[in-house]
Structure 1
Amino acid sequence: MRKITSPLIALALLGASALAACNTVEGVGEDVQAAGQAVEQTAEEANDGNPNTP
């Protein structure tokens, strides 16, 4: 569980920083897209190849 918790905390801090820094709707969209990519990458790293893994 600790393996997943640390990246999620880092992602949350990154997301909060990115949202605080954006000034336009376009900037928010870019920040949300970057956060989504980070979540996807973390999920891929955490996946053990088992299709039953949530």
Structure 2
Amino acid sequence: MKKLMAVLMVAGLVGGLAGCNTIAGAGKDVERGGEAVQDAAHDVQHRH
């Protein structure tokens, strides 16, 4: 399950980066991807 979530997050990040047209847009996409990873890590920590 963890591997699936990681693959989906990476795919979303790559898709977001591919869709942006500017450096500022890329920075926002990376930030959103980082926030998604943080949220997933937070959820995993609180399950145990």
Do these two structures clear the TM 0.5 threshold for a shared fold by scoring above it?
A: yes
For structure 2, list consecutive stretches of 5 or more residues without a partner in the other structure. none
Structure 1 counterpart of 2:36: 38
**Which structure features the higher share of helix residues?**
2
Please give the TM-score of this superposition, normalised by the length of structure 2: 0.88
RMSD over aligned Cα, in angstroms?
1.5
**Aligned twin of 2:4:** 6
Q: Give the fraction of aligned pairs with identical amino acids, expressed as a percent.
A: 27
Unaligned regions of 5+ residues in structure 1, if any? none
Provide TM-score, normalisation by structure 1: 0.79
